[in-house]
Structure formats: structure tokens, C-alpha cells
A and B are shown apart, each in its own frame.
Chain A
Amino acid sequence: MHELALSESVVAMVRERLGEARVVRVRLQVGCLMAVVPDALRFCFEVCTRDTTLDGATLEIDEIVAHATCRTCGSTFAASSPLAVCGACGSADVRVVGGDQLRIKEVEVV
């Protein structure tokens, strides 16, 4: 349910930066380790933008994967979960970094 709070934050941040400008598109970067469900975020965004300067705006979500390094065999790979398992050797002793983005990249205004 934190998708609702995140959507409210997106609207507040955009309005703080752009004032009354009419916004038609918002592009977010969401790290895969942030426990954010894109569909839930889209649903909440639609609700939160109603009757604001973002009403009807398209929401684009770029999901960003994390980087994993296996402590057993040293191989590196992209991970979409904090519980990633090494594809090369099967070890669960994996260091996962990144994937923690929650950013408003750009917006399109008219």
C-alpha cells in the first residue's frame, strides 16, 4: 500500500518543481529492490492525479535491476531480487547492490 504514499509524493514533487504547468507524462525510475508493484503504482497514480495539474498524465516506469556479485565464484550478474542465487555456481552467498532507485526522471509539460 505504500504505492499510494509514493504516488502522492510524485504529485507533490512535480507540483513543487513545476508549479501550475500542465503535465502530460511522468517517467519514473523504480529499483527492483524497493518493493514497489508497478501496477499498484499506476492505479494509485491515476487516483492521486485526479483534479490536479497531472490529471490524465501517462505514467512510465523504468524498472532498474540490481547488480549481484557471487562471493563463492566471483561471477557478476543482474539481479531482480535481494535473494538472488548465482546462476553460474548456484551459491546463495551473493552480494546485491543497486536496484534502490525511486526517482522522477523527467516529465512532459504542455
Chain B
Amino acid sequence: MCATCGCGDEHHHEHEHSHDHHHGHDGHDKVVSLEARVLEKNDRIAADNRAWLTVHGVAAYNLMSSPGAGKTTLLERTLRERRGRPVSVIEGDQETERDAERIRAAGARAVQINTGAGCHLDAAMISRALTELTPAARSVLFIENVGNLVCPALFDLGERARVVIASVTEGDDKPLKYPHMFRAADVVVLNKIDLLPYVAFDVARFAAHARRVNPRARIMHTSATRGDGLAEWYAWLEM
């Protein structure tokens, strides 16, 4: 979804230019109509990222979830089982290189971004990471966002699609508690379904909640450890 206007389209926003009536020489306060989007700078860089990725035929996916939903495990398995296309990964965490090391051990190139106090990745971080990573033409790029179901929803990175990962150990009301994140998703992956016998998680109720906040998102059910549902995941990724 487009993070600026909330629409479902991957479209290019026009840069709105201000009509500055800023004179400022007569000693009086002047009201200047700016009419600028707060995230205009981020969205401009995201548009540049998207253009670069498109020109190079790189399919970029923004993976978002709460901490511990299984993003890195899903990626590790995806990397081990991938067939044709080369894959690289941008890893976002507040601290440590641990996830990038896991990804490299699974055989893909990875750049780790440590956001420090920051709670999300932004387009400028991705732009810098792309320079470092230089993903191969016609490859797949996964961007593993900081584990957080609130802030990453606001920031367009230039990705092709947004994937929100939830897990059955989290409770089936997650879409209602974090509606902004689920509204922003193109795909909702419900992970850890191998644990369903041990938890009080209602898959149908989760789907109904997800549909209520986002009727157009595709929902997949996976177990990244046991392998359930991964054929559909790979098919969607065209891997």
C-alpha cells in the first residue's frame, strides 16, 4: 500500500510545490501556506528506490511483524529452498548483527541496519543499504523491518509489496489491535501453524479480523519450521 495517501496503488506521488508567499521584510508575521506532506522527503527517496529496483528488475518485499513472529526463520527456510533467482536481504534491528549472520549462514548476501533508538526502517536507510548491497538484476530482495506492529506501517521504502507476518502464539485479535499495520499489508502470513494444537488460536476468527481491517489482503498459512504452506509463499514470490 502507498504509505502517503493510504491508497492501494503503487503509484508515484507528484511532488507538490509550495506557494510560498514569504516576504518577511515588513516586520509583520507572515503566514506561509506550505501544503507539504510531512513524509515528502521519505516518499521522494522511496520513489527513487522503487525506480532503481524496477529498472534493475529487483522484486523487493517489506516484511513486517512483531518481534518473534518468525520473519528470520521464514527467510532462512526460503533461502535454503530457493530455486532460480538470487536473493539478498536487508536486515533491520535496533542492535546486533545476529539476523544478518543467520541470513549469510543460509547462503544469501545480507546487510544489517541497526536503527539504534529508531523503531522502523525508512527510505534513506534502504537507499544506503542498496548502494552497499547492489542486488543482482532480476533478483529478490527481502527487507526485514524492525519487529514492531506500529511504526513501520507509515514509512514507504520503495518496496513492491508489504508482507505482515503474524503467528498463532500471538492471539487471533492482532489485526484488531494493530489495524494500521494490517491495513497496509498486501499479504498477511499466519506463521507457526504447526503449534495450533497447543494454543487457543482461532484461525477463522483471525481471518475475519484481518478481512475487517483489510478486505483485499491475501492470507497465507505457514509453518516455517515444518514447511506447511510454503509452496503458496514461493509461488506468490515467483521464486
Contact = CB atoms under 8 A, between A and B. Distances in A.
Secondary structure type dominating chain B contacts:
mixed
A2 B119 contact: yes
A62 interface: no
Contacts of A81: 179
Contact of A21 (B24, B150, B151): B24
A31 B37 CA distance: 12
Interface residues on B, range: 35 or more
Contacts of B220: none
Contact of A1 (B29, B30, B119, B153): B119
A17 B151 contact: no
A97 B38 CA distance: 20
A103 interface: yes
A82 B32 contact: no
Contacts of A107: 31-32, 34
A68 B118 CA distance: 33
A104 interface: yes
B44 to A, nearest CB: 11
A103 B41 contact: no
Given A33-B180, A83-B179, A2 B6 contact: no
Given A82-B179, A82-B213, A83-B212, A109 B151 contact: no
A106 B154 contact: no
B39 interface: yes
Interface of A: 1-2, 4-6, 9-10, 12-14, 16-18, 21, 24, 28, 31, 33-35, 81-83, 92-93, 99-100, 102-110
29 contacts: A1-B150, A2-B119, A2-B150, A5-B118, A6-B38, A9-B39, A13-B40, A17-B18, A21-B22, A24-B29, A33-B180, A34-B154, A35-B153, A35-B154, A83-B176, A83-B213, A92-B212, A100-B6, A102-B37, A102-B38, A103-B35, A104-B35, A104-B38, A105-B33, A106-B34, A106-B35, A107-B34, A109-B29, A110-B24
